[in-house]
Structure 1
Amino acid sequence: MTSSPPLPVKPAAPTVRSSLAHAVRGALIGIVELVPGVSGGTVALVLGIFDRLITSANHLIRGVVRLAFKRGGQGVSHHLGGVEWSLVIPLLVGMFFALFALSGPLHAFVEGEPTLSSALFLGMVSASLLVPISMAREAGPVTRRTLIAGPLVVLAVAGAAFWLLGLPSMQVEDPAWWVLVLSGAAAVCALALPGLSGSFILLTFGMYEPTLEAVSERDFGYLALFASGAVLGLASIVQLLAYLLRVHRRAVLLVATGLILGSLRALWPWQDNGTLLPPDGDWLGPLLAALGGATVVLLLWLRERRGIAAAASL
């Protein structure tokens, strides 16, 4: 008999300080969504808001669907009332601000300092592995079966992700409207699935440069088609993920761990067209950048753990 997953801690009443903090969290998610190999879902895990975001998104989607097709007033009120608006609204504001205001400078940093930026993100993503691992351990009792099956699932998923990320990327010129819709649907999975990088998905299918250019140049026609696909993709993946987190929480977290582990291939600082190379002579700077990135993530994780523990003790 397995125990139920721990119930999420009831959020405190919103304040100006908490709203600003959520806006900063949204900005962090927006920033990493611009970087190939780094997942916004992973950042949400590290920041301790992953479950709350999935729950709120699931309620929002169900409420909108009921309003549009079922005309059920009571059901609409129930689902929209289940959305944690004090988290979602400032988070979205911060995320879109970062996407539009920082896309240019961040792209310049990634393009101008590819080795240093990759090392920085490698350290951050490596340290973030602690988050799904600790959550999986807390998802239920540890048995002999889970001790054997858990690492096997992680290694199998990591191996598949490692192989897929080694495939050569393409470049699409003047994409058709349906390509933009499908690209948005695929890329938005990274917001819901830790370990999947929306930017790397776009890079693999040759849509990263056109999309980043559209964001930088405010091409709203392009962005509208991309966003419509993102809405469709998010509506389907969020409901599935919300169900799996309720019924198979540990399995989802183990898969997330494998995806994050396998995604490290995309962030190895020394590679050429997907071929991994040994470090060159100038390795001290990238090493310090990786250690710095890992330290930032560990500090954020420890801070969130202390906050959750303090809230649960009240």
Structure 2
Amino acid sequence: MEWKNIYRGMLMGASDTIPGVSGGTIAVVLGIYDQLIAAINGFLSKDWKKQLGFLIPLGLGIAAAIFSLSHIITWLFKTYPGPIQFFFLGLILGVLPFLFNKAEAKTPFQIQHYLLLIASVVFVGLLGFLDPTRGDIIENLSSAAYIRLFFSGVVASSALVLPGISGSLMFMILGTFATVMGAVSQLQLDVLAVTGAGIVIGIVLMTKIVSYFLNNFYTGMFAVVIGMVIGSVFVVFPGWPAGAASVITSIITFAVGLAAAALLGRLEYKA
């Protein structure tokens, strides 16, 4: 068992409770993105037992963070949204040098790779211009409501597989954020089961797609990943803070995020 995956999973799980921040981006920051994709894809093969040592601790960390830290993270995001978002901006930008080095490990970037990168930046960046809403908690859980929750889970699961796409933001855009978060805090098992089934199916489908492109178009896939990470900056960016105190606080949290990315990178890439 790779027990250090528990803390990795906790970081990914905590980030998934924040609209605009992607668990896939945190996997990139931690340097385990391609290993994560390979493990999920391998779990669906005859060698599934070999992946348990990686996936079980990671899953435990994600679940622990979502159920134990969701209230704290949500409170911080509501109370100090600017500084928290600037921290994640630093965390996201701090990993880019490593990503460019890793992307060009096999083939140097060519014009088509830069075009893929730009297209990915635009695609994810446009999400920041959408007008998401948490929506009211769905009280009448009809068949249509369950279908909506299942579809929301399929769409939001892309956050684990694709950097830059936030699962919480997808839930908000689809109007199911409040219902899902309420189900997590109140352990509403029917909602969790339906949404969870959608998440699992979405992860399976998206992982196979990403795995194919990583195996056959490594540099191109990483160009897309880098573009999505850069594009997430436009989604997370909260706007320039007003007031000297807010500016100083945001600069400090941004610097802490950069330092955290460098520290995590140093620890992970040596491991």
Report the count of equivalent residues: 263
Aligned to 2:182: 213
How big is the shift at 1:106?
0.9
How big is the shift at 1:171?
4.2
For residues 208-250 of structure 1, what are the alpha-carbon distances to aligned partners after superposition, in whole Å with 9 as ceiling and x for unaligned? 2222222112111111110011111112111111111100111
Q: Percent identity?
A: 28
Residue type of the alignment partner of 2:99: P
Task: Give the root-mean-square deviation of aligned CA atoms.
Answer: 1.7
Aligned to 1:58: 41
Q: Does 1:29 align with 2:18?
A: no
* Structure 2 residues without counterparts, runs of 5 or longer: none
1 CA distance for matches of 2:97 and 2:177?
29
Moved over 3 A (4+): 170-173
Contact kept in structure 1, 2:117 and 2:224, CA below 8 Å? yes
Aligned to 1:151: 114
1 CA distance for matches of 2:42 and 2:54?
14
* Structure 1 residues without counterparts, runs of 5 or longer: 1-13, 63-77, 271-277, 308-314
Secondary structure class of the residue paired with 2:164 = coil
2 CA distance for matches of 1:149 and 1:225?
40
Q: Does 1:293 align with 2:257?
A: yes
Contact kept in structure 1, 2:128 and 2:235, CA below 8 Å? yes
Q: 2:81 aligns with which of 100, 105, 114?
A: 114
Q: Does 1:279 align with 2:241?
A: yes
Q: 2:65 aligns with which of 98, 104, 111?
A: 98
Larger Cα Rg: Structure 1 or Structure 2? Answer: 1
Contact kept in structure 1, 2:171 and 2:177, CA below 8 Å? yes
Alignment of 1:68-79 (within 5 A): 78-79=46-47
1 CA distance for matches of 2:113 and 2:189?
44
For residues 53-89 of structure 1, what are the alpha-carbon distances to aligned partners after superposition, in whole Å with 9 as ceiling and x for unaligned? 2112112224xxxxxxxxxxxxxxx3324x3221111
Aligned to 1:236: 205
Q: Does 1:135 align with 2:135?
A: no
Contact kept in structure 1, 2:135 and 2:172, CA below 8 Å? no
Contact kept in structure 2, 1:38 and 1:125, CA below 8 Å? no
Residue type of the alignment partner of 1:141: T
2 CA distance for matches of 1:267 and 1:187?
17
For residues 153-206 of structure 1, what are the alpha-carbon distances to aligned partners after superposition, in whole Å with 9 as ceiling and x for unaligned? 212221222123211113433270001001111111111112211111112222
2 CA distance for matches of 1:58 and 1:164?
27
Secondary structure class of the residue paired with 1:283 = helix
Secondary structure class of the residue paired with 1:170 = coil
- TM score, norm. by length of structure 2: 0.91
